[in-house]
Amino acid sequence: MSGAEKIKVRVTDIVPLNELVTRFRFEPVDGGLLPTFSGGAHTVVEMRDGDITRMNPYSLMSDPFDRSAYTISVRRDDEGRGGSKFMHSSVNVGDEMVLSNPVNLFSLDLRAKKHLMIAGGIGITPFLAQIKQLDRAHGNWELHYACRSEALGSYVDYLTTTHPNDVHVYYDDQNQAIDLDTLLDGQPLGTHIYVCGPKGMIDWVRGKAEEMGWPREAVHYEEFLAPQPGKPFEVKLAISNKVIQVGEQESLLEAIERAGVDAPYLCRGGACGQCETDVVEADGDIHHRDHWLEDDEKASNTKIMPCVSRFEGKTLVLDR
Q: Which residues bind other proteins (CB under 8 A)?
A: 111-113, 184-191, 210-218
CB 292 within 8 A of CB 302: no
Task: Return the number of the residue (79 or 216) whose C-beta is nearest other proteins.
Answer: 216
Minimum distance, C-beta of residue 207 to other proteins, in the bound complex (Å): 12
Angstrom CA distances, 119 to 123, 183, 201, stand at: 5, 14, 9
Within 238-295, strands assigned E span: 242-246, 277-287
Minimum distance, C-beta of residue 51 to other proteins, in the bound complex (Å): 48
Question: Minimal CA–CA distance to 22: which of 127, 148, 154?
Answer: 154
Beta partners for 234?
245
Minimum distance, C-beta of residue 194 to other proteins, in the bound complex (Å): 14
Minimum distance, C-beta of residue 192 to other proteins, in the bound complex (Å): 8
Residues in the chain: 320
Distance CA 42, CA 204 (A): 24
Minimum distance, C-beta of residue 213 to other proteins, in the bound complex (Å): 3
Task: Return the number of the residue (62 or 191) whose C-beta is nearest other proteins.
Answer: 191
Distance CA 19, CA 3 (A): 32
Task: Return the number of the residue (214 or 233) whose C-beta is nearest other proteins.
Answer: 214
Beta partners for 52?
49
Tell me the residue type at 222. Answer: E
CA atoms within 13 Å, Cβ hemisphere of 269:
20
Minimum distance, C-beta of residue 180 to other proteins, in the bound complex (Å): 13
Task: Return the number of the residue (173 or 211) whose C-beta is nearest other proteins.
Answer: 211
Minimum distance, C-beta of residue 228 to other proteins, in the bound complex (Å): 34
Distance CA 268, CA 264 (A): 10
Task: Return the number of the residue (58 or 106) whose C-beta is nearest other proteins.
Answer: 106
In the 8-state DSSP scheme, what is residue 247?
A: -
Task: Return the number of the residue (94 or 213) whose C-beta is nearest other proteins.
Answer: 213
Task: Return the number of the residue (51 or 217) whose C-beta is nearest other proteins.
Answer: 217
Q: How far is CA 89 from the centre of its chain?
A: 21
- E strand or H helix that includes residue 44: strand 42-49
